[in-house]
Amino acid sequence: MSERKQSEEPQAAEAPDAADSAESAEPEDPAKQIEGLKAALNEQHEAHLRAVAEAENVRRRAQREISSAYGRGQRQIARELLASIDSLELGLSSADGATADSLLEGQQATLRQLLKALAQIGVEAVDPEGEPFAPARHEAVSMQPSDSV
């Protein structure tokens, strides 16, 4: 490593000398310097415009993907609930001649079907009884006075 450092140090020392000699040589024509700076500015401006355009394309692409995912989610929810809706319609159409027991059995089956459909889309029942209210997880429906709180 020390050999490498030693070999790099002379090169580093020579670099400023080369720059000094370039400066001490002929001064560059100011018009050429201005043209060079204008060209560099134009390159930077074009690079900036390309970066802005790329960022806008990424934003649009992300927005399209979000919209697409939202639509897929809505279609999945509708598909999962359609079977339960069909069962409810069938139960209503056959309710005229049905007994109370058969209606109760049909409602229970439809409820199980609805709960299964909701579970498939990630909705599950929770029993918060006895748990402290956590605003991040729970949504208050109403407030009641309580001596225990």
Q: Which domains does the chain have, with CATH numbers?
A: 29-118 (3.90.20)
Per-residue pLDDT at 139: 81
* Maximum average pLDDT range among 61-65, 93-97, 125-129: 61-65
Per-residue pLDDT at 73: 92
Please give the average per-residue pLDDT across 5-18, as a whole number.
Answer: 51
Please give the average per-residue pLDDT across 24-41, as a whole number.
Answer: 86
Single pTM value for the model: 0.50
pLDDT tier at 86, thresholds 50, 70, 90 = very high
* Maximum average pLDDT range among 112-116, 126-130, 144-148: 112-116
Per-residue pLDDT at 23: 54
Per-residue pLDDT at 149: 64
| Rounded CA separation 113/119 (Å) | 10
pLDDT tier at 24, thresholds 50, 70, 90 = low
**Over the chain, what is the mean pLDDT?**
83
At 136, which amino acid appears? A
Please give the average per-residue pLDDT across 25-34, as a whole number.
Answer: 82
Contact 109, 87 (CB under 8 A): yes
| Rounded CA separation 79/145 (Å) | 42
Q: How far is CA 35 from CA 30, 42, 48, 77, 92, in A?
A: 9, 10, 20, 63, 84
